[in-house]
């Protein structure tokens, strides 16, 4: 089986000053993830490696760099799902945590549950001695500036920052999907988007493959986006299916949405309806890993 890593840096509308960093960040994360695959890591481990790197990268709306809630705080959502036994782990509304994906993976590995939220997730993390917590761990000037501008009405508040996600196919033929986010800028405290919700924000299945979504969580949830894609993709052209689904989910309101997917046969898709989406794809070549990627714009855009 030819392994593949696909990483996204969010279906967003980030300002051009962040584009270069987003492209470099997704590339770095995808390559690091792929290198781990090459030394025997599972799809699950490799997906967490990618997301963890992106959480530390201030260019993205996850971990350090996450956007703020309406009251100027931080609440993180993250999730991981693996195909071979359909196990998933997720956390939602966790305050000021830099590495929410580590908590999500611990939910998968060490609890009988799928999703822990808020105070319960916090207590679970403390009991296990995991997670880097505190405003200093996640606050950035970028997030502050965006918050201030949104509060002043100087920018759209629908989806101004860039969530992160990864899908991986390992050499055993197993897949995994993972994601981490600060959510949407000025979200109501307690609001949970698609990212930690199995079926909508991510999905992984032995026969169908893995997918991870990004964009306005409310519309992604309404369409159970990742599960929908994987059900429709198997007998179709993955890229065409993903593009059609993004158009449908984006809808008349033109909500920003995006998705990445990998199939068990190694085919993959990267699609979005938003101003841009940074992404990177890595697979093996004759002389080492082949990396593709960049700042994708919608089909037909210049």
CA distance 179 to 163: 8
Residue 142 three-state SS = helix
Residue window 100-139: x/- pattern of binding to ligand ASP, with contact defined by CB under 6 A: ----------------------------------------
If the CB atoms of residues 23 and 41 are measured against ligand ASP, the closer one turns out to be 23
174: tokens are: 């197993």
228 makes contact with ligand ASP (CB under 6 A): no
Supply the minimum distance, in Å, between the C-beta of residue 104 and ligand ASP.
14
25 makes contact with ligand ASP (CB under 6 A): no
239: tokens are: 């890229």
Applying CB under 6 A, what is the total number of residues that bind ligand ASP? 15
Contact with ligand ASP (CB under 6 A) among 42, 195, 228, 255: 195
209-215, strands of its sheet edge to edge: 202-205, 209-215, 257-262, 268-273
10 makes contact with ligand ASP (CB under 6 A): yes
Contact with ligand ASP (CB under 6 A) among 33, 42, 159, 255: 159
163 makes contact with ligand ASP (CB under 6 A): yes
Contact with ligand ASP (CB under 6 A) among 26, 175, 181, 255: 181
Query: In 3D, which of 160, 149, 132 has the Cα closest to residue 67?
Result: 160
CA distance 130 to 220: 30
274 makes contact with ligand ASP (CB under 6 A): no
- The DSSP H or E segment spanning 301 is none
Report which DSSP code applies to 133. B
289: tokens are: 């890993």
Residue 90 three-state SS = strand
Contact with ligand ASP (CB under 6 A) among 25, 95, 193, 238: 193
Q: Do 35 and 5 form a contact (C-beta atoms < 8 A)? A: no
If the CB atoms of residues 3 and 217 are measured against ligand ASP, the closer one turns out to be 217
Contact with ligand ASP (CB under 6 A) among 95, 131, 183, 209: 183
CA distance 64 to 248: 32
List contacts with ligand ASP (CB under 6 A): 10, 61, 159, 163, 181, 183-184, 193-195, 214-217, 220
């Amino acid at each position: 089986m030819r392994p593949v890593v696909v990483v996204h840096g969010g279906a967003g509308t980030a300002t051009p000053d962040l584009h270069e960093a987003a492209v470099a960040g997704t590339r770095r994360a995808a390559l690091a993830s792929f290198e781990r695959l090459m030394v025997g890591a599972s799809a699950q481990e490799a997906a967490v490696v990618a997301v963890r790197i992106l959480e530390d990268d201030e260019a993205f709306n996850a971990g350090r760099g996450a956007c703020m809630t309406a009251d100027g705080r931080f609440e993180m959502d993250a999730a991981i799902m693996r195909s071979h036994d359909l196990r998933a782990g997720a956390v939602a509304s966790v305050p000021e945590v830099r590495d929410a994906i580590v908590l999500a993976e611990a939910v998968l590995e060490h609890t009988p549950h799928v999703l822990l939220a808020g105070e319960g997730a916090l207590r679970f993390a403390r009991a296990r001695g995991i997670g880097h917590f505190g405003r200093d761990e996640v606050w950035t000037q970028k997030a502050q500036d965006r918050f201030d501008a949104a509060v002043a009405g100087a920018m759209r508040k629908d989806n101004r920052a860039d969530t992160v996600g990864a899908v991986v196919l390992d050499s055993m033929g197993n897949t995994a999907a993972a994601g981490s986010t600060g959510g949407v800028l000025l979200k109501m405290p307690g609001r949970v988007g698609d990212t930690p919700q199995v079926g909508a924000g991510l999905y992984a299945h032995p026969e169908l493959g893995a997918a991870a979504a990004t964009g306005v969580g409310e519309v992604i949830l309404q369409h159970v986006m990742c599960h929908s894609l994987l059900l429709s993709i198997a007998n179709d052209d993955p890229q065409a299916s993903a593009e059609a689904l993004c158009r449908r989910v984006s809808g008349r309101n033109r909500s920003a949405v995006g998705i990445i997917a990998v199939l068990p046969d190694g085919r993959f898709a990267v699609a979005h309806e938003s101003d841009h989406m940074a992404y990177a794809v890595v697979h093996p070549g004759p002389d080492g890993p082949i990396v593709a990627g960049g700042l994708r714009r919608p089909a037909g855009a210049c």
